[in-house]
A and B are shown apart, each in its own frame.
Chain A
């Protein structure tokens, strides 16, 4: 089924939309969550939450790329879950209490951080557009999808060490670009 048809199902409030999304992008979503969380159960929950979030946001949203839209949601959910789990592990009860209380008050730091991330995202997009297609895909498959270096090296037919060096050069290029744009790195 084409993405446009799946999005239409969401807009018609047809539950078939979730089944179609799962059939087409289920494995993509699971892989993305697993790359961040390394836990099957957590990934499963993240994927379910992602479908719920899609149901809640379409309409009014009509994403240009359903895959990228799902990926963005699942990344955000997975990163939040990862942070929550890490905080709980490190600081126990106090951190959990603080994170719960954090939801009750306006949090300028979080807002600022979100704005910062969005601005930085725009700068990174600009930098990516200047790369050739392969480097761009490589950077995003590593840092957006979270694909392991070993898997990417296999796809490219190069050794993981060679790929690590190539990624290092790409990160260096990004650092130079951001410094030029006035971002303190």
Chain B
């Protein structure tokens, strides 16, 4: 029995090199408490939104009835036609032609080293060639919006084109609005 196990032990040594190398580079997907934290964060965000909504004046509340605001409805200006209504959303929008509107935020590019690869996000370490983030700073990249996601592994050098960086207290900066992720060669070229 023991001899059989030893033959298997020797046999495992003969496993193909590529498989061994892949196993050494693999980073296990940790079953963390992250979903719980996300749920808590979502609840907190919802509470903040509701709080802000209740502070808004009646006109800003969308379809809220004018009578409920304490303002005389008869003196209120007539609501503009829906087609003429200017967008209230402060977030930039794209025009119908698909061209970005002049107010659209400019995309920034971050170069970083991949530290963890997950289904829809990456943990990366900022490289010193950018000004926006400190070298070595850990950032979460939401890759769900990227047009094409190359096969990435830990240690890969990447360039990320993005539009937003969100900082929440006690958490790494989250890179959102990711348009493109490109794998760079060791010398920084794509």
**A residues engaging B (CB < 8 A)?**
2, 28, 63-65, 67-69, 71-72, 75-76, 79, 83, 113-114, 116-118, 120-125, 128-129, 133-134, 136-141, 143-145, 152, 155-158, 185
Which single member of B13, B22, B23 contacts A117 (CB below 8 Å)? B13
Pairwise interchain contact B19-A121, C-beta atoms closer than 8 A:
no
Pairwise interchain contact B17-A118, C-beta atoms closer than 8 A:
no
Interface size on B, residues (CB 8 A): 27
1/0 per residue, CB under 8 A from A, across B8-24: the answer is: 11111111111111111
Q: Which DSSP category, helix, strand, loop or mixed, fits chain B's interface? A: helix
Pairwise interchain contact A125-B19, C-beta atoms closer than 8 A:
yes
What are 30 of the A-B contact pairs (CB < 8 Å)? A2-B186, A63-B17, A65-B17, A67-B24, A68-B20, A68-B24, A71-B20, A72-B13, A72-B14, A117-B13, A118-B11, A120-B14, A121-B10, A121-B14, A122-B14, A123-B11, A125-B16, A129-B19, A134-B26, A136-B19, A136-B26, A137-B26, A140-B12, A140-B23, A141-B23, A141-B26, A145-B23, A156-B28, A156-B30, A156-B31
Interface centre among A122, A125, A139, A143 (most CB of B within 10 A): A125
Which residue of A has the minimal Cβ distance to B9? A79
Pairwise interchain contact A75-B19, C-beta atoms closer than 8 A:
no
Does B97 lie at the interface of the complex (its beta carbon under 8 Å from any beta carbon of A)? no
